[in-house]
């Protein structure tokens, strides 16, 4: 499974279709007040689903990064207890099922890892494949370092210890950044709603003023420009509050 290509469950798909259709219909009706435009704008639902997939994929990848750090800690504990490297990963898989549940992402990945180990695949190749599919930089970096160390006979226990420490430091930095931008993210969500509130307020309180924005070419062009500016601002705000470490 490639975690950057998120796949909705049936329930998630139905929910996102319904929410997306409502959002698009409301936005187009607010800006154009024309049912034909609302109907013609339905294909925009594809863009909304792509956006939601991106958001969901980012959440899964972030959670996988957290779970992988704990998995490395479990591997480290197993190595210190005298397990071989391969058996340490098998034991860590059991710990992940106990910690996060059998249906968690990391538990599923470790079951795949164990299955492939029992099929006599080499651990470094399995980890490399996991790193590529996961989209998590920490996992890819660890897999590459682990493969080099395995081939050269390096100190695998020391490498795992250092990698777990580095991942923990990165996650702490991410957590601090998330705290700093949380207020801005909240402000961004409010600003996403404000333009619609202003338009609804004007159309309800001053219909003679807002009337010139609808049902004429000049108004359509103006509202289209405003909608494009709003979407550009939305995309820019998303990039600003999304910080990658």
Question: What digits encode the pLDDT tens for the residues 198-228?
Answer: 888 888 887 777 777 777 788 888 888 988 9
Any domain includes 3: no
5 domain residue, yes or no: no
Give the dihedral sign, CA 88/136/121/144: negative
**Maximum separation of any 2 CA atoms in the chain, in Å:** 81
Q: Domain range for residue 211?
A: 10-241
User: Is 1 inside a domain boundary?
Assistant: no
Residue 162 domain-assigned? Answer: yes
Q: What is the pTM of this model?
A: 0.78
DSSP 3: T
Per-residue pLDDT, 244: 59
Is there a domain that residue 2 lies in? no
Q: Is 29 exposed, middle or buried (0-12, 13-18, 19+ CB in 10 A)?
A: middle
Q: What is the pLDDT of residue 197?
A: 87
Q: Is the pLDDT of residue 14 over 90?
A: yes
Residue 146 forms part of a structural domain? yes
Q: Does 4 map to a domain?
A: no
pLDDT in the model for residue 245 = 53
Instruction: Specify if 83 maps to a domain.
Output: yes
Number of structural domains, the chain?
Answer: 1
Average pLDDT over residues 13-29: 93
Containing 34, the helix (H) or strand (E) segment is none
Average pLDDT over residues 12-41: 91
| Contact present, 103 and 141 (Cβ < 8 Å) | no
Q: Structure tokens of 138?
A: 């920490």
């Amino acid at each position: 499974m490639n975690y950057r290509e998120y796949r909705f469950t049936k329930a998630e798909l139905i929910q996102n279709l319904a929410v997306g259709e409502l959002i698009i219909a409301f936005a187009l009706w607010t800006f154009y007040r024309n049912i034909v435009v609302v109907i013609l704008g339905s294909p925009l639902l594809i863009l909304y689903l792509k956006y939601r997939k991106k958001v969901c994929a980012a959440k899964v990848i972030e959670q996988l990064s957290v779970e992988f750090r704990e998995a490395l800690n479990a591997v480290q504990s197993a190595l210190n207890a005298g397990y071989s490297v391969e058996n340490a990963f098998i034991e860590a898989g059991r710990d992940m099922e106990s910690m996060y549940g059998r249906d968690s992402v990391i538990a599923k990945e470790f079951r795949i890892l164990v299955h492939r180990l029992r099929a006599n695949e080499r651990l470094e190749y399995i980890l490399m494949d996991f790193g590529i599919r996961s989209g998590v930089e920490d996992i890819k970096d660890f897999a590459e370092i682990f493969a080099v160390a395995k081939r050269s006979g390096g100190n695998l226990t020391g490498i795992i210890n250092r990698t777990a420490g580095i991942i923990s430091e990165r996650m702490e930095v991410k957590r601090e950044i998330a705290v700093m931008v949380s207020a801005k993210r909240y402000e961004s969500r409010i600003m996403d709603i404000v333009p619609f509130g202003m338009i609804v307020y004007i159309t309800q309180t001053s219909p003679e003023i807002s009337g010139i924005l609808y049902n004429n070419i000049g108004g359509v062009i103006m509202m289209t420009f405003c909608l494009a500016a709003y979407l550009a601002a939305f995309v820019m705000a998303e990039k600003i509050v999304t910080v990658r470490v």
